[in-house]
Amino acid sequence: MAEKKNEPTIEDFMRIMDVADALKKQEEEVKRQLSVDEQKADIRERLRKTYQQMGVELSDEHLDAAIENYFSELYKFKQPEKNLSCKIAELYVNRDKIFKKYVVPALCIGAIGLGSWGVIKTVDKAGRMRAERNVENIVEESYMSKESIDKDIDIILASPFVAQLPKNELDNLNVFVTNSRNELSLSDSFFEKYCSGGTASDDINQSNYAEAKQKLAGIQLNIDSAKSDKDKASAIIETQQQLVNTKTSLDQLITDIRNLKPNETFSKQAELTYNNGISSIEKRQLSEAVKHKDELSGLEASINTFSELTIKVEQEYSSIKEIAIEQLAKDRGQVLYSEAGQYIKTSDVNKLEETVNQMLELDETLKQEYKLIITGGVWRYKLDNKSIKNYYLLLHAQESKGNDIPKSITNEETGKIKTVTEWGERVPKEVYDTVGKDNEDNGIIDNNIFSIKKRGFITEEIIMRYQGKPLEKLGEITDW
C-alpha cells in the first residue's frame, strides 16, 4: 500500500496552499467561461463526491459556507504563515476527529482555490485509505463473531445436560449445531484470504478492499444464520437445565413437607401438586412445572404458618380467659376460639389467621386501662340537613401514666375508620352546654371524665350522665 513518489502527499498539499496565488491566476480562463453560479455549483458537486469517497459527510451549509468564504476573499489573498500550515498538516495526520474539525474546512478552501486535480487526487487517496481501514475493521469484527459462535458451540456440546436430553431433543440439538457449523465453514475461504490469523491489515489493500466489502455482505448473512442456529441449540440446553433444576426443587420441597408431618388435608394437596409438577417435567412443559413448584413452595409456607397459628390459638384463648371479667369479653373469647377450631379442621390458613388476629386484638383490649378525658367541644351542621346542628365533645384516651392511647374511630360522616389520639363524641345539646358552662367559670373543665376503661373489660363505663342515666354513644367524628 505504499504511495507513488510522484503523487502529492498531504504535506505537499499543505505547501501547495502557499502558492495558491499563482495557481489562482490559472483559473482566470475558466472564470471567463463560467458564470459565478455555475462555478459554485460545479465546485460544490466536486467537493461532495470527494468527501463522500473519504467517508466524510458534509452538509450543504458547510460546503456553501466554505465556497462563499473563498469567493469573498478572492481578491484579498493573505500570505499564509508556514508554521500554521505545518500545524494543520500534523493535525490531519492525527486521524478522524481532528481531521473533521480542522482539516476539512482547510481542504475545502484549498481545493477551491487551487482548482488542482492533483490536490483532489491527494484528498481522494486519503479517502480511499480511510475506506480501506473501515473495511478492515468490519472484516475483523465479523471474524471475531465467527470465532465466538464456534466457541459457544463447543461449550454447548460440553454441557453435562446434553447426555440428559431425550432422543428427539438431542436430534434437534445436533441439527442446529451441524447447520451452524456448516454456515460458519462457508466463510472459511473468505477469512483465509482477507483476515488470515484474525488480522485484516496485511490482507486487505487498496486494490481489493472494495471486493472484500462486497463479499462480506454475503459472509455476514452466513454468520447471522449460524448464530441463529447456535442460539436455538443453546435454548435446548437451557431448557433442559431448568427442567433438571425444577425437578430437584420439587424433590426437596416434598421431602421437607413430608418431614413436617402435616395433617391429611395438607398432605394430600402437597402430594398432588408434586405429582403434577413431575408430570409436567416428563412432558417437558417447563412453565407448568415451575408453576407447580411455586405452588408447592407456597404450600410449605402455609403448613408452617398453620402450625404456628394453631399454637397461638391456644395461647391467646388461655390469656383471654385469665384476664376477662366482663361476661361480654368471655363470650367474645369463646366465639373466636370456636371459629378458630373450625378453621383448623378445614385447614383454612387465611381464615384462621384472621381469627387469631382478632383474638390478639381482644387480648390487648382486655389488658388496657384508661380514661376518656374531655378537652373541649365543637358543633357542626348535619351533612344531610343544614338546619340541624350536631354537638361533639372532644376526647382523648389517657392511660394511668398520662400517655395518650391511639384509638381506631369510625367517622360517622364518612364511614371511614381512622386511628387518632383525639376525636369528637356526639352528645345532646344539653350535655354540650353543661360542659361549656363548666369551662366558663375558670377556663378548666372540672368534670372532665367521660368514661373509664377497666382491665378485663371490653366496654367502657360511661361516667357522664344525661337525664339521670349514663350517656349513650351516638356517633363520632375524626375531623372537624
**Residue 127 pLDDT:** 78
Dihedrals φ, ψ of 208, to 5°? Answer: -130, 0
Q: Which residues pair with 393 in a beta bridge?
A: 377, 425
Residue 216, sorted as left (phi over 0), alpha (psi -120 to 50) or beta, turns out to be alpha
Residue 187: what residue type? S
Widest pairwise Cα distance in the chain: 127
Instruction: Please state the domain count of the chain.
Output: 3
As a whole number of angstroms, the distance between CA 264 and CA 346 comes to: 10
Please tell me whether residues 286 and 303 are part of one structural domain.
yes
Q: Which one of 340, 366, 392 terminates a domain?
A: 366
- What single DSSP character describes residue 9? -
Per-residue confidence (pLDDT) for residue 44, from 0 to 100: 77
Residue 18 included in any domain: no
**What per-residue confidence (pLDDT) applies to 121?**
58
H or E element at residue 122: helix 117-157
CA-angle at 16, arms to 11 and 19, nearest 5°: 150
Looking at the structure, do residues 219 and 164 belong to the same domain, yes or no? yes
Is residue 346 located within the same domain as residue 419? no
- Residue 53 is assigned to a structural domain of this protein: no
Look at residue 392 in the predicted model and tell me its pLDDT: 98
Residue 404 backbone dihedrals phi, psi, to 5 degrees: -75, 145
Helices in 324-369 by DSSP H: which ranges? 327-346, 349-367
Residues 272 and 375 placed together within one structural domain of the fold: no
- The per-residue pLDDT for 2 is 44
Please report whether residue 65 resides in a domain.
no
The pLDDT of residue 43: 79
pLDDT of residue 434: 95
pLDDT, mean of each 10-residue run, the chain (480 residues): 51 53 57 65 76 70 78 55 51 51 54 51 72 96 98 97 96 98 97 96 95 96 98 98 98 98 96 98 97 98 98 98 97 98 97 98 96 96 91 96 94 95 97 94 92 96 93 94
Domain boundary among 366, 391, 414: 366
Q: Are residues 355 and 283 both part of a single domain?
A: yes
Under a CB-based contact definition with an 8 Å cutoff, are residues 159 and 234 in contact?
A: no
Question: 317 with 360: CB under 8 angstroms?
Answer: no
Classify residue 375: in a domain, yes or no: yes
Domain finish residue from 331, 366, 401: 366
Residue 374 lies in a domain: yes
Alpha helices (runs of H) in 387-462, residue ranges in sequence order: 429-442
Cα three-residue angle 91-123-114, rounded to 5 degrees: 100
Structural domain includes residue 288: yes
231 and 283 within one domain: no
Residue 91 belongs to a domain: no
Residue-range definition of the domain harbouring residue 422: 367-475
Task: For residues 350 and 412, state if they share a domain.
Answer: no
Residue 19 included in any domain: no
The reply to whether 132 and 233 lie within a common domain is: yes
pTM of the complete model: 0.62
For residues 312 and 417, state if they share a domain: no
Whole-number Å distance between alpha carbons of 194 and 146:
14
Residues 150 and 184 reside in one and the same domain: yes
Radius of gyration of the chain measured on its C-alpha atoms: 46
My answer on whether 176 and 228 are in the same domain is: yes
* 295 shares its domain with 321: yes
Q: Which has the closest alpha carbon to 382: 413, 420, 353? A: 413
